[in-house]
Amino acid sequence: MLVCMECWEVYAGSGGGLDSYQRCPKRACMGKLADIDELMLPAIILLNEKGYYTQYCCSGHFVDGERASAYIFFEDFVDGKAFKTIPRGFKKEKDEAKGLIIRRKFKAKVPNARHREALETSRDVLDWAERLKPLEE
């Protein structure tokens, strides 16, 4: 789903005529639209409200075992040192071109178990985001 990173309005995906390269269609807003997985939405909103700005995320693909992981890409100025902790099971990765990524690779081998793992991961990320103190600017 597409979400405005300014007013948090949720829009239909590209089938509705909008894509993540556009701005919020609200005249008073015009914030950047981001493609956010529904499972991660509450945590992503909270992270951004606290100053940990994100670029994009994925709650995990439960059918495709090759891409069975959840991740969050942060804006390039969010440094890994800003986090004293990260969600359970996640590891920090540094991508020189894109910035900080936190990722949790799923261990389950079958789709139903990976789906459960994606749900648990989303809950863990939200719990973590709730405990984080706002990032000082």
| pLDDT tens-digit readout, 49-61 | 999 998 888 888 7
**Chain segment 18-41, per-residue pLDDT in tens:** 666 688 888 899 888 888 888 999
Q: What share of the chain is helix, strand, coil (3-state, %, to 5)?
A: 30, 25, 45
- Whether the per-residue pLDDT at 100 is higher than 70: the answer is yes
Q: Which residues of 56-87 are buried (b: 16+ CB within 10 A; e: fewer)?
A: bbbbbbbeeeeebbbbbbbeeebeeeebeebb
pTM above 0.75, yes or no: yes
